Amino acid sequence: MGNLKSKFKRSKGKSKLSADLPESSSTQKVVDPRLPFSNYRQIFNIRNGWKPVSRKMADTAKETLIRFLEKYPEYKAKYPMIAGLKTEEEMRESFEFETYALQIFGMFDDVIENLENVDAALDEIERTGKQLTLQLITDLEESFMNSVRLLLDERFTETLQENYRLLYGFVKSNIPQDGVK
C-alpha cells in the first residue's frame, strides 16, 4: 500500500492527493494508414493470437504445408528438394520440407512483429515474396487459416479470424509479382 502512495503527489500543499497519470490521448497508438486495420486493438489481437503459433511454429508450418500440398499437389513439383517426398511422415522428417514451410510462416512472423514498423514488414514481404508467387500465397490462405484455427481452438474467435484475414490480405497485396512490386 505504501508503494501506491508514492505514485500520487500532493498538490500545492493541500491534503488532497492527485494522481500523476498521463492523459488518455497520449497513450493511444496510431495505426499506420498502409495497414488494413482501423485501430490498434486489432494489431494487439493478432499478436496475442500469434504467440501460441510462434511457440509451435515448425509443427504448425509443416502441418499447413502438408494440408496445402494435399489440396494442390501441383506445387510440389515447383520445389525440387521436396518433390520426391511421398508420405506425410517423409515430409515431417525432411529438413528441406521444414525449411520451405518455415519460410512462409517466418514471413508472417516477421510481418506480425513489425506491424508498428510497416517499412520493415513490407521489406520482409518483398524479400520472401520473391521466392514465392502471389498464386501460391492466395491458394495457401485456407490451409493457413485452418492450421491457425486448429491450434488456437476456442481462442480463434470471429474477431481474430477477421483480423487474420485482413493481415493475410495485406501480405497478398504486397507480394511482388514476377519479382517486382
Cα 129 to chain centroid distance, Å, stands at 15
Q: What is the mean pLDDT of residues 69-91?
A: 91
At 23, list the grid cell: 492523459
Q: Per-residue pLDDT for 9 more than 90? A: no
Cα 26 to chain centroid distance, Å, stands at 27
Of the given ranges (5-19, 53-67, 120-134), which has the lowest mean pLDDT? 5-19
Neighbour count for residue 112 (Cβ, 10 Å): 19
pLDDT for 122 equals 97
61 closest CA partner among 69, 160, 14, 20: 69
User: What is the length of the chain?
Assistant: 181
Share of the chain above pLDDT 90, in %: 73
Structurally, how many domains does the chain consist of? 1
According to DSSP, residue 39 is labeled S
Q: Per-residue pLDDT for 18 more than 50? A: no
For all residues of the chain together, what is the average pLDDT?
86
Residue 132 to residues 7, 35, 143, 178, Cα–Cα distance (Å): 53, 22, 16, 9
Query: What is the secondary structure of 131-147 as a DSSP string?
Result: TS-HHHHHHHHHHHHHH
Residue 179 lies in a domain: no
Residue 2 Rama label (left phi>0; alpha psi -120 to 50; beta) = alpha
pLDDT for 178 equals 61
pLDDT for 42 equals 97
Whole-prediction pTM value? 0.80
What is the domain-level CATH number for residue 158? 1.10.490.10
Compute, in degrees rounded to 10, the torsion defined by CA atoms 72, 151, 59, 44. Answer: 100
Residue 142 lies in a domain: yes
pLDDT for 27 equals 66
Residue 181 lies in a domain: no
Tens digit of each residue's pLDDT (9 = 90 or more) over 121-171: 999 999 998 888 899 999 999 999 999 999 999 999 999 999 999 999 999
Q: Per-residue pLDDT for 26 more than 50? A: no
pLDDT for 11 equals 43
Residue 12 lies in a domain: no
Q: Residue 30 carries which side chain, given as an amino acid letter?
A: V
Residue 20 lies in a domain: no
Q: What is the mean pLDDT of residues 54-62?
A: 96
Residue 16 lies in a domain: no
Residue 149 lies in a domain: yes
Element (H, E) at 163: helix 158-174
Tens digit of each residue's pLDDT (9 = 90 or more) over 82-120: 999 999 999 999 999 999 999 999 999 999 999 999 999
Determine the structural domain holding residue 143 and report its residue range: 38-174
Residue 87 lies in a domain: yes
